Amino acid sequence: MRHQLLNLRHVPDDEAQEVRELLDSNQIPFYETQPNRWGISAGAIWIADDANASRARELMVEYQAERKTRARAEQEAARLEGTAETFWSQAKRQPMRLVMILFGIAIFVALSLWPLLLAGS
């Protein structure tokens, strides 16, 4: 029976490559399905047999814990250096995006309150 090890939706390319290398280095056979043309399926990494599936899941748990620790350390280092991206740095880099988001929120609030304003008069 096939076991899905990793759904590739929203998975960065470097993480998917590290998982492939992890499986190769531990000699666990796997295959990969590609995303479909319309975005319904994102693709996945699959383990074909039951014996390797449990070992692959154990390796994934260890890998994800190590990746989480590494990512948090990198984020903390960037924050301490002052290079981490913040709300204000994004607003400075893309001011029109912020204006359009605020405009969209204002339109949504106005449309939501419109029936209440009409009912009051």
pLDDT tens, residue by residue, 79-118 = 999 888 889 989 999 999 999 999 999 999 999 999 888 8
Its pTM surpasses 0.75: no
3-state secondary structure of 32: strand
- Rounded distance, CA 48 to CA 30, Å? 6
For the cut 80, the answer to whether the pLDDT of residue 1 exceeds it is no
Phi, psi of 11 (to 5 degrees): -95, 125
pLDDT at 51: 87
